[in-house]
Amino acid sequence: MAERIIELRDIKKSYGQVYALGGVNLSVDRGEVVGLIGDNGAGKSTLIKILSGVVRPTSGEILVRGEPVTGWSAARSRDAGIETVFQDRALAVQQTIVRNIFMGRELTGFMGWLKVNKEIEEASRLMREIGFTSKVFTPHSIVGQLSGGERQGVAIARAIYKQAELIILDEPTTALSLTETAKVFHFVRQVRASGRSILFIGHNIHHVFDIADRFVVIDRGKVALAADRSQVKSAEDLINFMEDVAHPGGLPGLHEAVGAEQRAR
Amino acid sequence: MEPDLQNQFSGPGGDTAGKEWRHPSDQWLRGFVLDNRASLGTLAVFIVMMAVFMIANPTVFTTWYLYSSVLTTLPVALFVVVPLVFVVTCGEIDLSFPATMGFAAWVFALVVQAGYDPFLGIAAALVTGVLLGFLVGSLVVYGGLSSLIATLGMNFLLRGLIQIINEGKSMALTGLAGSTAYKIFSSQVFGIPVQIFWAIAFVVLSAMLYNRHRFGAQVKVVGDNPDSAQQMGIDVKRVRVKVFVFVGIGAAIAGTFSVMINFTWWPTAGDGYLLPVLASVFVGGTPTWGGIGTVAGGAIGAVTVSFIQTGVVAAGLSGFYVQFFNGLIIILSLLGHKWNQARYR
C-alpha cells in the first residue's frame, strides 16, 4: 500500500453552536489525486483550512505519514510538505511575483538578509516549469497587474517550490479561461506523474471526474460518499448521487429531467 | 521595484517560455527611475521648494548657518520617520512615539545625572525604547485594539506619567559637554553636525532592512494582505509587534540625541515631533493603506518638512505663513503621489 501522506480522523469543527464539520475522516496517499466535492456550505473550505493549518479543529486527530501531530499550524503544515493553493489565491497584490512566491519562505542568508538574485533565478525557473510565461512579465512585475490565470500561476509556482508531497487545489479553475483551465489540468497530471499527491476541490463535477483517482463527497459537514474510480462509472453517477444527497427521495421529476439533459449532451 | 508593463507587451503574447526574465528596461537609468518613482517625486518636490526659497531670498539661502541649524535638528526626526514608514507599511500607525522619545530620554537623563557614563545612559534608553515599543505593540496586537486610538492613548498616558513624576521640571545635564559620547554623537566635524552622519547611516541600514531583509519583506506582505500572510505561515502578530518595537528603538535614539544637542531634558521632550514626523512619512510617498512604502522617500520627506519652517521665515515671510506652507506642501505631495499609487489598487 502506498504511503499515507495525511490522515484526518473524526475531525470536528464548530463555530459556537454551529457545526461546520461533524466528524470527518479523510486521507490522501502518495501519488493519488483525490477529488473533493460538495455543495456550497458543505464544509469544504473548513476542511481545507484545517489541512493547511489555518484553522484548528475542535476535536479529532491529524496524522502526517502515520504520526499524530500536535500544535498544528500553517507553518507546520507547510513544513510537513503540504502546500495549498487557496481559492482566493492568497496573494499580496501590491507585491512583486518574487515576493509572493517566497511569501513566508524567504530565501535568506546571513542574519536574515535576502538572497535577492537566487530568489529571482528560482522564480524564473518555477514560472517556466509550469508554463505560465506566455505574457511578457518579469519576476519584478506587480501581481495586481496580472490576469486571473497568471495569478493562479504565481500561486501554483509558490506551491511547488519546495517539492511539496501534497498540493491542495481549492477550486483552481474558478474564473479561468479554457486555455488556463487546460493548463491547470496539465499541471495536475504532471504532479501525479512525478509521484506526488493532489487534493482537488471543485464544484464542476465533470472537471473533478476527469482528473481524480478517488472521490470524496461531503455534505453538511460529513462524508457522504468515498469511492474509488472503479466504483463510479461516469460523471452523471456522481451528479445523480449529489442530487440524491441534496434532495433525498424527493423531486424525481427534476432528477429525470436533468439526467436526460446530461445524456443529450 | 516594479517595471512599467504598459510598454512591454511586444505584439501578440508570443511564447517567451524559453527566455530568461530580464528587467524590462535595458537602460538602467529608466529602470532606476521607475523603481524609485515615489522617492524621486519627493525629491523633485523638495528641489522645487528650495528653488522657490532661494529665489525669494538668495542671501540667506546661500549661508551655511541655515543648513547647519537644519542639520542639527533633522536627525532627531529621521530616527522616528524611518521606523514609522515600516509601521504604516504594515497597515498600522503609531502616535505614541513622542512620549516614548520623552520617556527614553528621561531614563538617559536620569542615568547621566546620577553620574554614570553617558554610554550606559544610551543603553538604558534603548532598553526603555524596546520595552515601551513592545508594550504598545502588544496592546495593539494581542489586545486587538485599533492602533490609531490605542497609541494615541498610550501617548497621553506615558506623557502624563512623566509630567506627574517630574512635576513639570526639566533636567540640565551640563556634564555631557566634555564626554566621549558627546564627541562621538553630537559634536561637529568640519562644521557639520556629526549626528547627521549617524542619521544617514540609520536611514541606509533601514532602507536595506526594508528592501533586502526578511523583516521588510514580511512587513510588506502583512500590510498588503494579512490573511494571505497567515495562510503562508507567517506569524502576523509577531511581525506587527516587531514594527512597534522598531519605532520604540528609533524613538529612544531620537530622544537621546535631542537631549545631547540641548544638554537639557524637558518633560515635553518629543512632543513637537508628532505632526512633522507624520507629515514626513506621507509627503515621502508612503500611502496610508499599507503594503508599500519608501524609506528613502520618508527621509527626503523629513528634509522637506524641516526646511519648510526655516525656509518660510528665512525667505522673509512672516511666521504666519509657516502653517500655510506646511499644508500646501503636504497637499501638493499627496496629489503628486496619487498617480503613482493608483496603479497598485
CATH of the domain at B169: 1.10.3470
What residues in B contact A144, CB-CB < 8 Å?
343-345
B152 in any annotated domain = yes
pLDDT of residue B278: 94
Q: Which three cell numbers stand for residue B340?
A: 503613482
User: Which of B10, B18, B344 has the CB atom closest to A144's CB atom?
Assistant: B344
Instruction: Over range A182-194, report the average pLDDT.
Output: 86
Closest CA to B282 of B251, B239, B223, B326: B326
Q: How far apart are CA B106 and CA B269, in angstroms?
A: 9
pLDDT of residue A134: 57
B75: containing domain: 40-340
Q: Would you place residue B341 in the very low, low, confident or very high pLDDT band (cuts 50, 70, 90)?
A: low
Q: How far apart are CA A206 and CA A2, in angstroms?
A: 27
* Count of C-beta atoms within a 10 Å radius of residue B14: 12
Quote the DSSP letter at residue A213.
S
Q: Would you place residue B74 in the very low, low, confident or very high pLDDT band (cuts 50, 70, 90)?
A: very high
pLDDT for B18 beyond 80: no
Closest CA to B250 of B116, B118, B117, B136: B136
- pLDDT higher at A27 or A133: A27
Q: Evaluate whether B334 touches B280 at the Cβ level (below 8 Å).
A: no
pLDDT for A258 beyond 70: no
Q: Evaluate whether B270 touches B105 at the Cβ level (below 8 Å).
A: yes
Q: Choose from A88-102, B177-191, B307-321 the range with maximum mean pLDDT.
A: A88-102
Q: Evaluate whether B21 touches A138 at the Cβ level (below 8 Å).
A: yes
Q: Evaluate whether B221 touches A103 at the Cβ level (below 8 Å).
A: yes
User: Which of B16, B22, B343 has the CB atom closest to A133's CB atom?
Assistant: B16
B345 in any annotated domain = no
Q: Would you place residue A249 in the very low, low, confident or very high pLDDT band (cuts 50, 70, 90)?
A: low
pLDDT of residue B328: 87
B19 in any annotated domain = no
The pTM of this model reads: 0.88
B18 in any annotated domain = no
B21 in any annotated domain = no
Closest CA to B250 of B211, B291, B198, B197: B198
* Count of C-beta atoms within a 10 Å radius of residue A182: 12
Our CA-based measurement puts residue B223 at a distance from the nearest CA of chain A, in whole angstroms, of 9
Provide the domain count of chain B: 1
B11 in any annotated domain = no
Q: Would you place residue B329 in the very low, low, confident or very high pLDDT band (cuts 50, 70, 90)?
A: confident
Q: Evaluate whether B136 touches B75 at the Cβ level (below 8 Å).
A: no
Q: How far apart are CA A171 and CA A168, in angstroms?
A: 10
Instruction: Over range B265-288, report the average pLDDT.
Output: 92
Q: Do A136 and B233 touch (CB under 8 A)?
A: no
pLDDT for A186 beyond 90: no
pLDDT of residue A188: 87
pLDDT of residue A62: 94
Closest CA to B298 of B203, B198, B202: B203
pLDDT of residue B203: 97
Closest CA to A9 of A58, A62, A79, A50: A62
Helix H, strand E, coil C: the string for B198-232 is: HHHHHHHHHHHHHHHEHHHHHHHHHHHCHHHHHHC
Phi-psi region at A226: left, alpha or beta (left = phi > 0; alpha = psi -120 to 50): beta
- pLDDT higher at B188 or B90: B90
Q: What is the pLDDT of residues A30-46, one digit of tens each?
A: 989 999 988 888 888 89
Instruction: Label the pairing between strands B192-193 and B188-189.
Output: antiparallel
* Count of C-beta atoms within a 10 Å radius of residue A247: 12
Question: Is A140 in CB contact (< 8 Å) with chain B?
Answer: yes
pLDDT of residue B251: 98
Q: Do B344 and A133 touch (CB under 8 A)?
A: no
User: Which of B17, B24, B212 has the CB atom closest to A138's CB atom?
Assistant: B24
What residues in B contact A140, CB-CB < 8 Å?
1-3, 23
- pLDDT higher at B138 or B21: B138
Give the DSSP H/E element, type plus range, for residue A63: strand A59-64
Q: For all residues of chain B together, what is the average pLDDT? A: 87
Q: What is the pLDDT of residues B168-199, one digit of tens each?
A: 899 999 888 888 888 888 888 888 889 999 99
pLDDT of residue B11: 34
User: Which of B23, B213, B344 has the CB atom closest to A94's CB atom?
Assistant: B344
- The CATH homologous superfamily to which domain A1-81+167-230 belongs is P-loop containing nucleotide triphosphate hydrolases (3.40.50.300)
pLDDT for A203 beyond 50: yes
B216 in any annotated domain = yes
B32 in any annotated domain = no
User: B119 — phi, psi (to 5°)?
Assistant: -60, -40
Q: Would you place residue A254 in the very low, low, confident or very high pLDDT band (cuts 50, 70, 90)?
A: very low
Q: Do A52 and B23 touch (CB under 8 A)?
A: no
Cα three-residue angle B334-B339-B345, rounded to 5 degrees: 100
For cell 492568497, the residue is A90
- pLDDT higher at B215 or B34: B215
Question: Domain ranges in chain A?
Answer: 1-81+167-230, 91-163, 233-265
Q: Which three cell numbers stand for residue B237?
A: 502578530
pLDDT for A256 beyond 50: no
* Count of C-beta atoms within a 10 Å radius of residue A263: 9
